[in-house]
Amino acid sequence: MFGAGFDQSLRTGPLSGQSRFSLLLASMASNEATKKADLARTPQRGSATPTPPRATPPVRPAPKRVGPAEFLSQVRDEGRKVTWPSRRETTVTTIMVFIMVVAASIFFTVVDQALRYIVTLILGVGA
């Protein structure tokens, strides 16, 4: 996987195969001892008493079904509750949307042309 030079350096390095193995075992034992010490030092998670079961939520009654005429009546009633904008508010908002669309289109046109010019300078392609 790493090539012949890597394998050779492992065999002829400062540690022989036997000492590498003993070093590996020592580090594993050290890790196990550390784990045991950590478990003894930190309290166990959770409480000694189990948590009581949750209460079941109350059952909702099934929604009352209404016919088409009743539904349209409810829609009309909800429509009356809405605070509708005045004609002036609608006109001002519409004008602001058009202004923002024009501003955004001008901005993106300028950015597009600048990037086109920079790419043409770098690559020397076009015009």
What is the full per-residue pLDDT of the chain (127 aa) written as tens digits?
A: 455 554 454 555 555 556 666 666 566 666 777 777 777 776 666 666 777 788 888 888 888 888 999 999 999 999 999 999 999 999 999 999 999 999 999 999 999 999 999 999 999 876 5
pTM, whole model, 2 decimals?
Answer: 0.40
How far is it, in rounded angstroms, from Cα 38 to Cα 34?
6
How far is it, in rounded angstroms, from Cα 66 to Cα 62?
12
How far is it, in rounded angstroms, from Cα 56 to Cα 71?
33
**Which helix (H) or strand (E) segment is 8 a member of?**
helix 4-12
Structure tokens, 52: 């009581």
